[in-house]
Amino acid sequence: MIQTTLTPFKRKLNSSLTKKQINVLQINLGKRCNLACNHCHVEASPKRTEELSPKNCEQLIEVINRFRKLKL
């Protein structure tokens, strides 16, 4: 049987959707990887060469240092 109506998300949750404090920062440093998984969300592979520039790395370090809530 095909369901023809959608349950509103708020009712599905049965509570309000609230955010929690951010304390994790994930950084994809580049697209080079020794594997090439079909499911890879960054489309990494051994053939990819893109990577963060030294300037971008310095900027990231500045952001990380300013954002004290991150757990290092």
Q: Which of 25, 37, 57, 70 binds ligand SF4 (CB under 6 A)?
A: 37
Q: CB of 48: closest distance to ligand SF4 in angstroms? A: 9
Sign (positive/negative) of CA torsion 49, 50, 51, 53? positive
Structure tokens at 9: 């998300």
| Interaction of residue 52 with ligand SF4, rule CB under 6 A | no
Binding segment (CB under 6 A) for ligand SF4, from list 4-12, 29-37, 49-57, 59-67: 29-37
The answer to whether 51 touches 32, Cβ cutoff 8 Å, is: yes
- Residues that bind ligand SF4 in the complex, under the rule CB under 6 A: 33, 35-37, 40, 44
